[in-house]
Structure 1
Amino acid sequence: MVKNSEVKLSAVAGDLKKSPSDALVIGVGQGPDGPVLLDNPLTAKAAEALAESLSVLGITGAADQAHRLPGLPEAGATILLLAGVGKLPANKGSAKQPLSEEALRRAAGSAVRQLAGVTTVTLALPTTTLAEVAAVAEGAAMGAYSYTEFRSSQNGLKDPVKNVAILTDFAADKALQPVLDRASLIGTAVNATRTLVNQPPSHLYPESFADAAKELSKGLPVKVTVWDEKRLEKEGFGGILGVGKGSTRQPRLVKVEYAPAKATAKIALVGKGITFDTGGISIKPALGMGDMKSDMAGAAVVLNTVLAIAGLGLPVKATAWLCIAENMPSGAAQRPADVLTMFGGKTVEVLNTDAEGRLVMADGIVAASQEFPDAIIDVATLTGAQLIALGDRTAGVMGSDSVTGAIKAAADRAGELVWPMPLPEELRPSLDSQVADIANIGERHGGMMTAAVFLREFVGKGKDGEQIPWAHIDIAGPSFNNGSPYGYNHKQGTGCTVRTLVAYVEDLLKASA
């Protein structure tokens, strides 16, 4: 089901004619006085002539701009691509400020994405550290992606780039190969997430999603456990069952566990896996409903994060809980005013069946809590309010300060946009129910935060008697791109948050070392 083309990453140094490619990419930035040709492997004469021609050619250096020229003899390529990196950082005194890692990541991803149809690309973006090389490699791995599974003809479609060589002085450094291997693995995880999100709901539904988790896990040291509807009912997963009972496609809970012998930390990741969300009886408007195939992005993220952690061999026990259901209206569907008994015994009055994600997530959070992890992080396309508050590209993160702060730091390092939001105590009374322990909707204003307050009610206590450190990440906006491609992001599924969560685990291990 999940078919990804993977780019082969390598590094080269020196004479490019000895390492020929179809296209050579060099960078152009936006300086205060116009476009600036960045450091490159061209001869001084060729570089000077090119730099003087930038404005005439209409090249500004803006991010995502990609201008093709015929290759030069010394370039070892038939195409010379000038890739915009955006505004250049201001120099401090005589010191030349390097580009940010994210600017390099986006420029590399944009160039590789726009060179689809070309087989081999050499990226000659300026890198002065291994971390910068890693950013270029990650961008390339995410840029080399396409989703064409259901096209009956390949006419007009271009295959993604298959080979990327990075021009760097670190080409002979022994520390480089692990950097490229990690970038390739991250690219694979992000692209697998994208492909799951892009799957049509006719093909990705609870049972097939569970099968896809098994398929993606093959060859990795992970254990996959699936709860079908019978086991879910027997063990009392009322939230997942309640949301899924309106569909002929029965719900699933999938546990993906990576437990290395020498683990020094233990985390649980809970993901919302609504394979299609009509809203149920509280049905959504028809306009834009097709995008609700992406309502399982959180589950795809946590699945591929754990698989990436396993692939990297990180010494942490990481468990993904995929809470999967299809939210459909039917004679069997749950109704507004129904009461569900969640896993663990707490009761919820369902006032709106379109607030279903928090119901399946509550079950998953309780299950995760019973294993006493060091931290629980849940990821969900949970609320439209997230888009109102933070827009299409920035995820909201809420919860325990110790976890949200670390997630923000990891996101900054990974180059993803995350913003911490508060959980005001005055929101909790709005979730009071007259007939159950809690209602599934409350105060409309600040709805992203109200949803997180609901989820917090289900976070269990650790062995010390205190609530387990927890964070909720709402990716409703950034998980799905309805606009034009940008940077390393293509249309539709973005795979956002995978990089942040892997970086979070790496930071956690460094802090405990």
Structure 2
Amino acid sequence: MIKTSELHLTASAKELRKIPSDALVVAVAKGPDGPVLLESPLDPTAARALGDSLQVLGVSGAADEVRRLPGLPDTGADSLVLTGVGPAVPGDALPPETLRRAAGAAVRQLNGLETVVLALPTGTVALAAAVAEGAALGAYRFEGHKSGLRADGTPAPAKDDAAVRAVIVHTAIADDPDLTPALGRATILGKSVNATRSLVNQPPSHLYPESFAQAAKDLSRGLPVKVTVMDEKRLERDGYGGILGVGKGSSRPPRMVKVEYSPAKSAVHLALVGKGITFDSGGLSLKPAAGMMTMKLDMAGAAAVLSTLLAVAELGLPAKVTAWLCLAENMPSGTAQRPEDVISIYGGRTVEVLNTDAEGRLVMADGLAAASEEAPDAIIDIATLTGAQMIALGKRTSGVMGDDGVRDAVKAAADRAGEDFWPMPLPEELRPSLDSDVADIANIGERNGGMMTAAVFLREFVGQVDGEKIPWAHLDIAGPAFNEGSAFGYTPKAGTGVGVRTLLAYVEDVLARAA
């Protein structure tokens, strides 16, 4: 169901005329006195002529600006593509994320081409890797479920707008031995993020708890991981009351999927818990019709932890990682849980359900409690949890909360990966608002600061080892997980795959500190 085709990434330092391609991409900056062609392997005469023509061509060099021109002689490319990097000073190294976005914007807008050469300024392996990552992230297209038929039932003309299949990073350091593994990582990273996007983009008619569990098995095939699917009978037997309560109203029962990667020599054990609400109607606390649009995105956290674990496994990192996918469909019916019901979370804590649309924290409570039993070194959970996240941070910046050490480490990993996360506090005064007269805790509390209140609720279900709470952080990706606007940089419309790059970087950083 989920296609994971990967971009073929290579590097070359050959003369451009010896690299046949459909397009050659070079960078243009937005200089103080107008657009500036940045360092490129173009012939000096051609580069000067092109640079002098930029203003006439209406090129500004702004970020996300991509212009396609006829190919220049002696380049080996059918077309020349100018990609904007925004304000920059010629000669200064560009930040990795600037290169990532410029490469991604170009590759994303060159759908339908087979091979693209990216000749952007790359003086180090890190910068060349950033260009490769941007290309891998930009080379995505969701094929959807279109029939390919006209209204009269006859076949429609074929439309060749598939994602770019091969990218060559043109760089003077093509022979650096560290570049090959960097390109391999970029390939795996792009495949993992794009698989997450495709899971999020699946319609709820096709992706529901049982089919999501099967997708986890399919995507894991060939990798050294173990997939355990807990059906509704096992969930009932073992006491996963959060997932069962949320899934009671649906004809499609819930699942808990545990995916384990346990290399022979592992330096650390990390647990990742992901919210997997395959569709969120709000339950009996029904959302308005407009509020249900895009609610297929509510499983983006589960998709992210699955893809992260599979990337860790494919890269062969020496870290034990366990992913918990908390899958349910939140629907209203005669069997749905009701406001003021009391449910028992895995491990026995009770929750008064005051609002059935605050369901994500209930399934996540089960996952956090179960993950805690295995005493990992740290737990990270990720969820499209609250609309309050968007009110606080907008649609492109995710929130990260939790223990200071883990929270700050996640923020540092996000910065390195090129994702926007912002640390938020967990004010102690929010906890009393979750008190319940009939249960251990209520599932809603203080409305103001709702993103943080939800995190305070989740913190209650993180366990202890030898009397010490397990280090933990919570990532709220409600807005950034789904792009309802126009595509930008390497980010497509709809599912974005946010979180995978940060989580993978976090695992790598933990390993680096443990070495």
TM-score by length of 1: 0.98
1:127-276, aligned counterparts within 5 Å? 127-153=122-148, 155-156=158-159, 158-276=161-279
Pick aligned residue for 1:468 from 467, 470, 475: 470
Matching of residue 286 in structure 1 with residue 289 in structure 2: yes
- AA matched with 1:176: L
SS at match of 1:78: strand
* Deviation by residue 1:216-266 (Cα, 9 ceiling, x = unmatched): 000100000010000000000000000001000000000000000100001
C-alpha distance in 2, partners of 1:85/1:155?
34
Q: Residue in 1 aligned with 2:153? A: none
SS at match of 1:306: helix
Return the offset for 1:288.
Answer: 4.2
Equivalenced residues, count: 507
SS at match of 2:289: coil
* Deviation by residue 1:445-495 (Cα, 9 ceiling, x = unmatched): 000000000000000002x31100000000001000000000101000000
C-alpha distance in 1, partners of 2:452/2:160?
42
Q: Which runs of 5+ in 2 are unaligned?
A: 149-156
Q: Residue in 1 aligned with 2:323? A: 320
Matching of residue 300 in structure 1 with residue 303 in structure 2: yes
Q: Residue in 2 aligned with 1:104? A: 99
C-alpha distance in 2, partners of 1:288/1:281?
14
Return the offset for 1:270.
Answer: 0.1
Q: Residue in 2 aligned with 1:115? A: 110
C-alpha distance in 1, partners of 2:158/2:286?
38
SS at match of 2:464: coil
1:400-415, aligned counterparts within 5 Å? 400-415=403-418
Return the offset for 1:149.
Answer: 3.2
- AA matched with 2:69: L
Q: Residue in 1 aligned with 2:490? A: 488
SS at match of 1:296: helix
SS at match of 1:360: helix
SS at match of 1:451: helix
C-alpha distance in 1, partners of 2:504/2:177?
23
Q: Residue in 1 aligned with 2:351? A: 348
SS at match of 2:473: strand
C-alpha distance in 2, partners of 1:135/1:48?
27
Return the offset for 1:41.
Answer: 1.2
SS at match of 1:117: coil
Contact 1:5–1:145 (8 Å) recurs in 2:
no
Q: Residue in 1 aligned with 2:456? A: 453
Q: Residue in 2 aligned with 1:39? A: 39
SS at match of 1:35: strand
C-alpha distance in 1, partners of 2:444/2:459?
14
SS at match of 2:469: coil
Q: Residue in 1 aligned with 2:152? A: none
SS at match of 1:231: helix
* Deviation by residue 1:288-346 (Cα, 9 ceiling, x = unmatched): 41200000000000000000000111111000000000000000000000000110000
Cα distance, 1:329–1:157 mapped onto 2, change above 3 Å: farther
- AA matched with 1:9: L
Q: Residue in 1 aligned with 2:10? A: 10
Identity rate, percent: 68
Pick aligned residue for 2:390 from 381, 387, 392: 387
- AA matched with 2:255: R
TM-score by length of 2: 0.97
C-alpha distance in 1, partners of 2:145/2:6?
19
C-alpha distance in 1, partners of 2:33/2:336?
63
C-alpha distance in 2, partners of 1:3/1:266?
29
- AA matched with 1:19: I
- AA matched with 1:190: V
- AA matched with 2:476: D
Cα distance, 1:157–1:450 mapped onto 2, change above 3 Å: farther
* Deviation by residue 1:47-74 (Cα, 9 ceiling, x = unmatched): 0111011111110011111111100112
Return the offset for 1:155.
Answer: 4.4
Return the offset for 1:206.
Answer: 0.2
SS at match of 2:430: helix
SS at match of 2:489: coil
SS at match of 1:295: helix
Cα distance, 1:119–1:351 mapped onto 2, change above 3 Å: same
SS at match of 2:462: coil
Q: Which runs of 5+ in 1 are unaligned?
A: none
SS at match of 2:74: helix
Q: Residue in 1 aligned with 2:85? A: 85
Pick aligned residue for 2:506 from 476, 482, 504: 504
C-alpha distance in 1, partners of 2:146/2:315?
34
* Deviation by residue 1:152-201 (Cα, 9 ceiling, x = unmatched): 12745611101100101121222211111100000010000000000000
- AA matched with 2:316: G
- AA matched with 1:84: G
Contact 1:5–1:160 (8 Å) recurs in 2:
no
* Deviation by residue 1:71-103 (Cα, 9 ceiling, x = unmatched): 011211010000011111x58xxxx42111000
Return the offset for 1:5.
Answer: 3.0
Matching of residue 71 in structure 1 with residue 71 in structure 2: yes
C-alpha distance in 2, partners of 1:149/1:352?
34
